[in-house]
Amino acid sequence: MIDKTYQPGDVEARIYETWEAAGAFRAGRPERAEAEPFSVVIPPPNVTGSLHMGHALNNTLQDILCRFERMRGKDVLWQPGTDHAGIATQMVVERQMQERQEPGRRDIGREKFLEKVWAWKAESGGTIINQLKRLGASCDWSRERFTMDEGLSRAVLKVFVQLYRDGLIYKDKRLVNWDPKLLTAISDLEVQQVECSGSLKWSRDGEEQPDPAALSQALTKTLARNPNGHLYYFDYPLAGVDYDPADPATFITVATTRPETMLGDTAVAVHPENERLGHLIGRAAVLPLVGRRIPIIGDDYADPEKGTGAVKITPAHDFNDFDVGKRHDLPQISILDIEGKLALSQNEAFLDGVATSDDLYETVALHGIDRFEARRTIVERMAAKGLLRKIEPTTHTVPYGDRSNVVIEPFLTDQWYVDAKTLAEGAMAAVRDGRTTFIPKNWEKTYFEWMENIQPWCISRQLWWGHQIPAWYGPDGRVFVAESEDEAVAEALAYYVTKETLTSEEAEAIARDAGRRAAFLTRDEDVLDTWFSSGLWPFSTLGWPDEAPELARFYPTSVLVTGFDIIFFWVARMMMLGLYFQKDVPFRDVYIHALVRDEKGAKMSKSKGNVIDPLALIEQYSADALRFTLAAMAAQGRDVKLATSRVEGYRNFGTKLWNAARFAEMNGCVTVPGFDPASVKETLNKWIAHEAQRASREITDAIVAYRFNDAANAAYRFVWNIYCDWYLELAKPVLMGPDSEAKAETQAMVAWARDEIVKLLHPFMPFITEELWRVTAEGAEPRESLLVLAQWPAHEGLDNEAAESEIGWVIDLVTEIRSVRAEMNVPPATLMPLALVRPSDAARERAARWTDVIKRLARVSEIESANAAPAGAVQLLVRGEEVSLPLKGVIDLAAEGARLDKEIGKADADIKRIDAKLGNADFVARAPEEVIEEQRERREEAVERRAKLVAALERLKGAA
RNA sequence: GGGUGGUUAGCUCAGUUGGUUAGAGCGCCUGCUUUACACGCAGGAUGUCGGGGGUUCGAGUCCCUCACCACCCACCA
């Protein structure tokens, strides 16, 4: 007995266990050894994260593809796993330590800290996996991987060493995006540009706010809230002359949004062709507050239109200035420490060549203050010295760290880089020649755009949680890159022996002694960017660098399903690294889905508080309802704006399906083993076979084309509007009637169609369908196999236009009668006689065959034929046949007259519109023949319809 | 500054290569204990397809333009 109500909470957990126990998701099931492989790697979620709506969408779509292909008989591998998420995870653990008021990570040291992270991973790492299971994800969990697994770590080492040896990884000292809170370099992609503007206006020469005390107060107030955007104009006195604010020949004015960096200025640049300032090129200015002589140089970078036309150059704190500095061989003076505090005392570069002075002492005394505090102080001091000319509000963008949410500092450090430009060549070619295809196609443009302008990828992070860089430094600072410390030591010893820094005896002595070996080299402290290891995901998870049969069988993977937000972070890197190390693309297709947004279209974020928790929706409406909603809304190229009313609607859909199955059971509809739907005799059954085949085709085609919404809608329509609304209703008289042969066939067919439905719906709603499959028997026996492994409907030869035509007529007739009854306010209890007016033989036969159904569904008392339409009856046209409801006395004659008038009006409008088309010589001359023919037929039909309606109206008037 | 997408019913959204009278869900209105289902059944109303122009026999669909809304990339002294 099927339960009266479906309880998703109970069923879902049980069903999932059944699948796992049966090994249903395992790749390489023996019976599929010869099957075509289908593989997908999951975008690995953060190991300590939890499921958000983006995951729900992403994994629902992958699961639909995997379940679909599994049912189509393929050997499916959905490779699951998690990412160690370097920065994110380390931050979480550090925050926990802080909350518990424990000593910081630097206090306890690397080893102890990593123990804590691993402990946290052990504690929380299962959460997201369990949540994926709640969603129904059919991953092969026996193959679950983690980016810091032993195997994946070996892949990382091998890749790093190989790329280093091939000259594609190198160490370089240049400006990086430095996060002063996390104390690490980050890549360009991890920097968010935030627009900010200011409000403070002040001018030394004007009236705006001349009082220095008031200025100081305003500055304090303004700079207290960051970000802000102000342009500060400073006079830099020229060397060799006495500064006179009234005499432009004694100074050069520069404008900056970052006053504190002036301490690191090493030049002022003007455009070589600047008419106003060009003559100053070659002279020098004296850097205020410091006393350093800095040259005035000519460089195209200085735009005469911007600022004052003269720009201060701070090579160590600005990306553009860095380039200018390189061109002019300027010193790079870093004046900040890693935390963004002024680093002035003991700063040799800063003090180099600067004569001691009171100014300098005062400035160096600022050592250790924060960069924003420094900004205020510098401005105040410049103002006090009369060198601040003015302050203007401005709007500009400020770089923020996407994790730490603090202002990022361009900072001069040694870091490891990947030569992305070289690797990008192959990755672009692979998409250009179609070895990998993006769906929707337009994302390829985004991909190319970025690839063409790709910058060196900074891969080192000053973190502890991650893959430590396999680089060791010798006593002279020389770097040795190798897959293990032993190899590095061996390499280093050999090197130093050849260089005659060591004798071979010394080298051998070191090599023999483990302690000395370990002390001989120092390992690089840094770890790799998380995306470095995720970039290897499509092959590292398949067993590389070992010889793994899975790699040969499942690489390249069939499709990658992911959001557009990580095309650069992840997709591009996998393309580059996959092509380099496997000589083939990592995936054939890349399906890019949209972001899930809230109802108003805003990106969901914790800070906005508009996050909808997928688990809460699963609790409330079932995983199936959530999945179906996401699939139905996943139209290509558009964001998914999630409304919970949709989830509720699809929960109702599940209930509808459940009840339809209960109905089938109550009427003794049981799956007949070996039943052939092509053999049925009843028109109704031929019709549902025809419709089921059509639905199956639509759904299959849509999934293959990644048109998930079309697939979901086709399934929805078939189940609700075809199977439930009509097939079951039309079958009721047969199921309750006396014809045992027809009844038996129909019972079998109801069960067959239900089974088809359950299969077609399974990729979308795996739980309820599997449960229905379980509770419905096959013949006298329970089902032998699970639905998850059942065969996808793929039948041919069930098309049946004759059945479509006949059942279509019945449906139209019933619908028309219902419509008229409602319009005429005929009470449901009133049964009406129905007359076919001069029916064709076909219509008469059909009416006879469907008498019971028509009577029941249209609430008709009897059906007869008439030579003429009776007076005062309602006239209907059903597929060209005239039908009347002779209900004089019941209907409102005036209302019927109005209805007929309206119908005639419609017919007139149709005729007029078609005539306009057919009357157009150009249309007749140029439109395709079938379009014209269609219009002619339609006109004929409309004219006939009009004539009948007019006649009916005449009769109505006669009756009145 | 460069780019992408969007603007269709009260709301959330479909509408593949131009071709019937533009659709769905939710909401709304009317009626219904019709023996699976009120998480239901039956019927109904609602659109200048953002504005303007163009191409075409024919435009929600293609082109131009304007407006507004998102988002991405780059950068500004």
In whole angstroms, B39 C1' to A651 CA is 7
Its sign, for the CA torsion A861, A862, A863, A864, is: negative
Please give the protein residue whose CA is closest to the C1' of the nucleotide B37. Answer: A659
Tokens at residue A767, please? 């739980």
Please give the protein residue whose CA is closest to the C1' of the nucleotide B42. Answer: A818
In whole angstroms, B14 C1' to A219 CA is 54
Instruction: Please report, rounded to a whole number, the percentage of residues in chain A having pLDDT higher than 70.
Output: 96
Strands A37-41 and A75-79: parallel
Summarised one tens digit per residue, pLDDT across range A288-345 is: 988 899 999 999 898 888 888 899 999 999 999 999 999 999 999 999 999 989 998 8
Summarised one tens digit per residue, pLDDT across range A483-521 is: 999 899 889 988 988 888 888 888 888 888 888 888 888
- Predicted confidence at residue A225, as pLDDT, reads 58
Tell me the C-alpha distance between A463 and A220, whole Å. Answer: 34
Strand partners, A603: A597
Residues 802-841 of A with CB under 7 A from strand B: 815, 818-819, 822-823, 828
What number of other Cβ atoms are within 10 A of residue A847's Cβ?
Answer: 21
Tokens at residue A734, please? 């047969």
Summarised one tens digit per residue, pLDDT across range A716-774 is: 999 999 999 999 999 998 898 888 899 999 999 999 999 999 999 999 999 999 999 99
Strands A230-237 and A251-256: antiparallel
Tell me the C-alpha distance between A751 and A789, whole Å. Answer: 19
Q: For residue A312, is it left (φ>0), alpha (ψ between -120 and 50) or beta?
A: beta
Nucleotides of chain B touched by protein CB (<7 A): 3-6, 11-16, 19-21, 24-27, 30-32, 34-37, 39-44, 56-58, 70-77
Summarised one tens digit per residue, pLDDT across range A392-403 is: 888 888 888 888
Residues 330-359 of A with CB under 7 A from strand B: none
Tokens at residue A766, please? 């795996």
Q: What is the DSSP letter of A98?
A: H
Please give the protein residue whose CA is closest to the C1' of the nucleotide B58. Answer: A923
Cβ of residue A255 lies below 7 Å from strand B: yes
Tell me the C-alpha distance between A399 and A166, whole Å. Answer: 33
Tell me the C-alpha distance between A622 and A765, whole Å. Answer: 10
Cβ of residue A956 lies below 7 Å from strand B: no
A446 burial class (0-12, 13-18, 19+ CB within 10 angstroms)?
middle
Nucleotide in closest CA–C1' contact with A254: B77
- Among A106-110, A225-229, A516-520, the range scoring the smallest mean pLDDT is A225-229
Strands A640-641 and A832-837: unpaired
Mean of the pLDDT values across residues A69-85?
95
Cβ of residue A370 lies below 7 Å from strand B: no
ipTM above 0.90, yes or no: yes
In whole angstroms, B70 C1' to A636 CA is 16
In whole angstroms, B54 C1' to A333 CA is 61
Cβ of residue A923 lies below 7 Å from strand B: yes
- Among A12-21, A348-357, A655-664, the range scoring the smallest mean pLDDT is A348-357
In whole angstroms, B36 C1' to A361 CA is 90
In whole angstroms, B11 C1' to A645 CA is 10
Residues 376-395 of A with CB under 7 A from strand B: 394
Tell me the C-alpha distance between A597 and A761, whole Å. Answer: 26
Q: Which residue has the higher pLDDT, A855 or A643?
A: A855
* Mean pLDDT over each residue of chain A, to the nearest integer: 88
Please give the protein residue whose CA is closest to the C1' of the nucleotide B40. Answer: A656
Residues 453-472 of A with CB under 7 A from strand B: 453
Tokens at residue A912, please? 């007029």
User: Measuring CA to CA, which residue among A677, A809, A659, A669 is closest to residue A736?
Assistant: A669
Summarised one tens digit per residue, pLDDT across range A602-623 is: 666 665 666 778 898 999 899 9
Which of the four pLDDT bands, split at 50, 70 and 90, describes residue A910? confident
Which of the four pLDDT bands, split at 50, 70 and 90, describes residue A681? very high
- Predicted confidence at residue A737, as pLDDT, reads 82
Strand partners, A75: A37
Cβ of residue A306 lies below 7 Å from strand B: yes
CA angle A859, A863, A866 (to 5 degrees): 135
- Predicted confidence at residue A860, as pLDDT, reads 87
Helices and strands counted in chain A (H then E):
33, 32
- Predicted confidence at residue A223, as pLDDT, reads 66
Cβ of residue A633 lies below 7 Å from strand B: yes
Mean of the pLDDT values across residues A659-679?
92
In whole angstroms, B48 C1' to A629 CA is 33
Nucleotide in closest CA–C1' contact with A823: B43
Mean of the pLDDT values across residues A533-545?
94
Tell me the C-alpha to C-alpha distance, in Å, between residue A409 and each of A31, A188, A258, A459. 58, 12, 11, 17
H or E stretch including A451?
helix A443-452
User: Measuring CA to CA, which residue among A242, A231, A334, A252 is closest to residue A298?
Assistant: A252
- Predicted confidence at residue A226, as pLDDT, reads 55
Cβ of residue A855 lies below 7 Å from strand B: no
Strand partners, A791: none
Cβ of residue A438 lies below 7 Å from strand B: no
Nucleotide in closest CA–C1' contact with A726: B41
What number of other Cβ atoms are within 10 A of residue A918's Cβ?
Answer: 16
In whole angstroms, B44 C1' to A818 CA is 12
Cβ of residue A876 lies below 7 Å from strand B: no
Contacting residues for A230 by C-beta, under 8 A, at least 6 apart: A198, A200, A222, A257, A391, A392, A393, A394
Cβ of residue A697 lies below 7 Å from strand B: no
Instruction: Report pTM.
Output: 0.91
Tell me the C-alpha distance between A43 and A786, whole Å. Answer: 28
